[in-house]
């Protein structure tokens, strides 16, 4: 007669939105890929570039100045100590990989969401 609704198809819980530049490494540790644009008029997140978070920096890419500004900016943005931000790849290139400790994927996505329009921006 009637259908058994208790076995009705259940949808899996939706994962919270996260930009493609973020990867969870553990409960309170993430990996972030970044595309850096040095010598900008101001330091700010400008969107995504090939799936990487695009960060414009005022510092020139000379003697580690840009890397120091990346670490300082991300520590302030995510409200974590500078010592919790480590460049794990791309120290001398524009595309960098970083490890951020003390912040979860969900927390980072919540902070980046408004900056990226929560859908990730374009280009």
CATH of the domain at 25: 3.30.1200.10
Q: Quote the number of domains for the chain.
A: 1
* Alpha-carbon gap, residue 114 to 39, rounded angstroms: 25
Spell out the alpha helix ranges (H) of the chain. Answer: 65-78, 105-116
Residues of the domain holding 60: 20-114
> What phi and psi values does residue 29 have, to the nearest 5 degrees?
-150, 135
Q: Can you give the pLDDT at residue 120? A: 46
Question: Is residue 8 situated within a structural domain?
Answer: no
Kindly give the interhelix angle for 105-116 and 65-78, rounded to the nearest 10 degrees. Answer: 100
Q: Can you give the pLDDT at residue 4? A: 53
User: Hey, CA dihedral for 23, 32, 56, 52, is it positive or negative?
Assistant: negative
- Full pLDDT tens readout for the chain, 123 residues: 555 555 555 555 556 678 899 999 999 999 999 999 999 999 999 999 999 999 999 999 999 999 999 999 999 999 999 999 999 999 999 999 999 999 999 999 999 999 988 654 444
**DSSP label at residue 71:** H
Question: Is residue 10 situated within a structural domain?
Answer: no
* Alpha-carbon gap, residue 7 to 34, rounded angstroms: 45
Contacts of 106 (CB under 8 A, 6+ apart): 16, 18
């Amino acid at each position: 007669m009637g259908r058994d609704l208790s076995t009705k198809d259940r949808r899996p819980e939706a994962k919270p939105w996260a930009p493609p530049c973020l990867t969870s490494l553990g409960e309170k540790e993430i990996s972030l890929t970044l595309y850096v644009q040095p010598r900008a008029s101001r330091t700010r997140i400008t969107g995504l570039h090939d799936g990487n978070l695009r960060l414009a920096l005022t510092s020139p890419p000379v003697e580690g100045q840009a890397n120091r500004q990346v670490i300082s900016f991300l520590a302030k943005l995510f409200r974590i100590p500078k010592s919790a931000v480590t460049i794990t790849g791309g120290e001398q290139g524009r595309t960098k990989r970083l490890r951020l400790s003390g912040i979860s994927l969900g927390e980072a996505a919540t902070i980046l969401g408004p900056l990226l329009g929560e859908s990730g921006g374009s280009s």
